[in-house]
Chain A
Amino acid sequence: MEFQFQFDWQAAIDSIPFLLKGIPYTLLISFGGLLIGFVLGIIFGLLSINKKWFLRWPATAYIEIFRGTPILVQVLFIFYGLPDLIGGPIDPLTAGIAAIALNSGAYISEVVRGGVQSIDKGQTEAGLSLGLSRTQTFWSIIWPQAFRRMIPPLGNQAIVSIKDTSLFSVIGVGELVRQGQIYIANTFTAFEVYFVVAILYLAITLSLSFILRLVERRGLASV
């Protein structure tokens, strides 16, 4: 039996308009989630290095739980599990954004913690010696320096989270992979369509890498 596979360019090109419909969802879930995740990361990252144990422990628990369980389990739990608890359905988009937010928030907490702890203790001492309060010292001296160091790992997390959204096809959000699956169900052109899906992810992540590199260069130029 002879077997020959031919990449069907026409099928690939034809799928693009349908697949593109998934991009707004992919971007909305990843960037919406990351934005909330960033806020969570600042809050829990700073709590995790607080001197008071009753602030530090809950933050550490949150970080360990969401770093230590798969994001797929987290989103299934939110989408199928939580409705039992709150007594009503959660729409897939909200569940997706919440999963990215909580998951990236845990990782970003660690990025924030590492960034802040990497700043020399002498900086705090210099701020306090000038008469600045601890809060003023933190926000005008420590944070701006820490944030610059956080840019590369934050970019890394953004890329991871964008790719993580592909898992949310399981809860039926019409993001890139889900769109691909629907398209393939009608055309049976799995190879071509997943190839295009992969290229579209790559286009998003490469653009982000490029932007981040520009930001990084600008941020580091002065230091």
Chain B
Amino acid sequence: MTHIVEMKGMNKYFGKLHVLKNIDLTVEQGEVVVIIGASGSGKSTLIRCVNGLEEFESGKLVVDGQALAPKGGNQKALTEIRKEVGMVFQQFNLFPHLTVKKNVMLGPMKVKNASQVVANATAERLLNRVGIGNQADKYPSHLSGGQQQRVAIARALAMEPRLMLFDEPTSALDPEMIGEVLDVMRELAKEGMTMMVVTHEMGFAREVADRVIYIHEGQIVEQGKPDDVFDNPQNERTQAFLSRVLAH
């Protein structure tokens, strides 16, 4: 098996606040890793380090064979990593001045120098795949939250990433739209996409994850197969967290 992400003794601070403490974590090719934990536990920060949206202060981080240096060093590696790693945000972050299709075309055209024709074909294929083919010429603001998030997934997929990061992709959605986004993610997982997902959707985690990681105050407290973590958590903090989130 090949590691696509490898973190070793990674530490991250926001000023004096120690956000990530000695993180050791490897993600294998094709693996779906779901990261759970209370808000403020550092789970978003963890995946934002993977594509360099956050810098880390010490330790080792290798993504797709490229070693990132602490404090934002090694910009070259970062550039390479970002081409291979897609990201989906809580707030979608679609480009409001571009149509849905142009949103999906931008990456391939600017980064891979894809021609208009090729990028257009890719965008149409991906938009159909996430079920938004008929909205391609609309602007993002004319779409529902669930549709926007599916466009955001298509936009990330257009770069043919080897790893997809999902940062609470359904947290900003109305309840009735969560399902349509999770469906797309489920499909992706089935097709073998390597994914790191930060989410509060425990049902999704249990069903789709190969591994669940529980993070508490910047530390990986427990990890394992979803059934083990959810049904038989070993650490008392995990037990407390799960009893809170699964109670209702």
Contacts and interface: CB of A to CB of B under 8 A. Distances in A.
Given A130-B106, A131-B82, A223 B96 contact: yes
B89 A126 contact: yes
A132 B107 contact: yes
Contact of B93 (A122, A133, A140): A122
Interface in A125-157: 125-126, 128-133, 136, 140-141, 144-145, 148
A84 interface: no
Interface in B61-120: 79, 82-83, 85-87, 89, 91, 93-97, 106-107, 110-111
Size class of the B contact interface (CB-based, 8 Å)? 20 to 34
A145 B97 CA distance: 6
B51 interface: yes
Given A222-B139, A223-B141, A130 B93 contact: no
B95 A129 contact: no
A222 to B, nearest CB: 5
B155 interface: yes
Size class of the A contact interface (CB-based, 8 Å)? 10 to 19
Interface string B128-156: 00000000000101000000000010011
A132 B155 CA distance: 13
What secondary structure prevails in chain A residues at the interface with B? Answer: helix
Interface in B145-183: 152, 155-156, 159
A131 B83 contact: yes
B25 interface: no
A123 interface: yes
A130 B51 CA distance: 10
Given A129-B53, A131-B111, 20 more contacts: A120-B93, A126-B152, A128-B51, A128-B82, A129-B51, A129-B82, A130-B106, A130-B111, A131-B79, A131-B83, A132-B107, A132-B110, A132-B111, A133-B79, A136-B110, A140-B110, A145-B96, A148-B97, A222-B97, A222-B139
Interface string A140-184: 110011001000000000000000000000000000000000000
